[in-house]
Amino acid sequence: MVSKEKLKKQVEKTSNALKGGVKKAGGKGLHKGVASHKHCRICHLPIDIKREPEICGDEACDKKWLQNKKNEKMVRIAFFLFAGVFFAPMIWNGIRVLL
């Protein structure tokens, strides 16, 4: 069995260690113990708040980030092409009616 005194000392020790950590880290409001940071968009590791692009710099994350950017560009192009093909006949018919 664990004695009450020993448990109390362990709790106080842990509490004091956490209080010291809060003072060192800084922060505001409810998040006093957490320093300001962002997270990598790929692997979610904490990174510097000023980091652009928002990735950690790991080679795997870098490759994945570039692939995601290419995919976003292709989806954007496909969307505008689809919208053009879909709306072009409506616009053409509207112009013919006006003439």
Does residue 90 belong to any structural domain of this protein? yes
Does residue 75 belong to any structural domain of this protein? yes
Asked if 53 and 69 touch (Cβ cutoff 8 Å), the reply is no
- Summarize the confidence of residues 70-84 as an average pLDDT: 97
- Summarize the confidence of residues 37-52 as an average pLDDT: 89
**Maximal C-alpha separation, the chain:** 96
Does residue 84 belong to any structural domain of this protein? yes
User: Which tokens belong to 15?
Assistant: 């509490």
Does residue 21 belong to any structural domain of this protein? no
Q: Where are the alpha helices (DSSP H) in 1-99?
A: 4-25, 59-98
Domain holding 99, by residue range, is 57-99
* pLDDT, tens only, 13-40: 777 766 655 444 455 566 666 777 889 9
Does residue 81 belong to any structural domain of this protein? yes
Q: Would you state the torsion angle of the CA atoms of residues 21, 27, 32, 36, taken in this order, to the nearest 10 degrees?
A: -80
pTM above 0.75, yes or no: no
Q: Would you state the torsion angle of the CA atoms of residues 81, 86, 87, 90, taken in this order, to the nearest 10 degrees?
A: 150
Number of structural domains (the chain) is: 1
